[in-house]
Structures are given as C-alpha cells and as structure tokens.
Homo-oligomer: A and B are copies of this chain.
C-alpha cells in the first residue's frame, strides 16, 4: 500500500506497485489495468498522482494507452544475451514462449554480392530461404538465410516446415558450427516488413546479419529484421 511518510514520492510508489504486479504476472500482457477512478478509490490519492505514475509506466514501455478503451500491459521485451551461439527456438523456450516458424519463401538463386559476402564462388547456387519467426503466435523476426546448395544438397521447403532448421543442419548434414559473427544496426522498418510483422511503420527494427561458420568457412549468411519493440540485446564486456 502507499505510505505517505515514505521518502519515495507517491507517484513512484504507485509506479512500483503496478510494475511489481506486471512483473509477477498478476497483470499479464495486454491485460487492462484498473482505471484512474479505481486507483483513486483504492489508494485514496489524487488523479494527478495516478496520471504521473501511468505516464512514467508508459514512457518506460510497460503500459500502452488505447483511446477510449483504457490502459493495457505491454508485451515483455525479449532479452537476448550475446554470449554463445544461440538459436531463436531455444531462447524463446527459455523465456516461456512458444517458438514457431513459417517458410514464406524458398528459392535457388545466384547472387554475386551475397557470394562475395560469403567468400564463395560467384557461380555457386544458393538457397534463399525467408522465414517468419513467431513467439506465442506473434510475428517477431523476418529471417532471410543464404546457404550454398553444394553444402546442403536436396534441401526442400517441406523439410523446413515445422522443424528446427539448425537441427536439420546438424543431424541431416552433419554440420558442426564453429562460431557465428553477428552485426547489429538499427534500421527503419520497411513497409512490406512492417506488414508481415504486423507493426506500425514508425517502429524501427534491429537488422542483424549473421555469418555462421563451419571451421573457417561461412556456410550460412542470414539477415534478420527483428522488431525493435520486442527485442533487446545484451553483452558483457570484460576488462
């Protein structure tokens, strides 16, 4: 309950109470939180104090307002540690989210620029595979991967449906990944990407280029467009 003798400002006490209720799961993602009037009645504080608490929660990305409907809990940000080779599937499971993927494009191409990035011959054919990655059925990442056909013969779209792509690479193709290099850049979400991700155009995305290595060879190059309102990436830098 609020304590007027406490050194913490009242609005911040309320901020913390609501935040704890979000973090502990009493209020879940997209749940409606009580109205100003209900908070007034419950805590016997002014509407302006309540408004301040809610504005701070909104500014910090914990709640969102829907005009005429009320105040709702934002979905949690997905925190990704950049430490070891990680997979979307495993990371989502750790966060208690159901990971799924849809192959939205599968073709064989020839592309000099991609070949140069992968340091392979410009004559080598490449699979270009675009997948939409979902967490609890919500689209969160568009991933476009390029793989040399000669390293992954007979790969088909069907094989990739409802499976963990990296498992197929390891199990069917005996790939032993040695490391990955990832490059992060904030980008404007392009309109066709925003449509696929079901977000507004003005939410920027994180573009992540990944080079996955087998020994010292790049065998997968992928470009990920990850929703900026969904993900944050953490590194630990030592001395």
Interchain CA distance A113-B83 in the complex, whole Å: 28
Known: A122-B7, A188-B202. A83 touches B183 (CB 8 A): no
Residue contact B228 to A185, C-beta cutoff 8 Å: yes
Known: A85-B239, A123-B7, A204-B188. A234 touches B112 (CB 8 A): no
Within the complex, what minimum Cβ distance (angstroms) separates A81 from chain B?
10
Would you list which residues of chain A between 206 and 236 have a CB under 8 Å from chain B? 206, 228, 231-236
Within the complex, what minimum Cβ distance (angstroms) separates A174 from chain B?
15
Residue contact B186 to A82, C-beta cutoff 8 Å: no
Closest to A61 in B: B185
A238 at the interface (CB under 8 A from B): yes
A130 at the interface (CB under 8 A from B): no
A177 at the interface (CB under 8 A from B): yes
Residue contact A186 to B206, C-beta cutoff 8 Å: yes
Residue contact B122 to A177, C-beta cutoff 8 Å: no
Which residues on the B side are within 8 Å of A231 (C-beta)?
185
The one of B8, B112, B181 that contacts A9, using a Cβ cutoff of 8 Å: B112
Interchain CA distance A180-B237 in the complex, whole Å: 5
Closest to A226 in B: B186
A12 at the interface (CB under 8 A from B): yes
0 or 1 for each of A189-206: is its CB under 8 Å from B? (1 = yes): 000000000000011111
Residue contact A184 to B187, C-beta cutoff 8 Å: no
Interchain CA distance A183-B184 in the complex, whole Å: 12
Which residues on the B side are within 8 Å of A188 (C-beta)?
202-204
Closest to A232 in B: B185
Known: A9-B112, A85-B239. A233 touches B183 (CB 8 A): yes
Would you list which residues of chain A between 68 and 85 have a CB under 8 Å from chain B? 82-85
Closest to A79 in B: B183
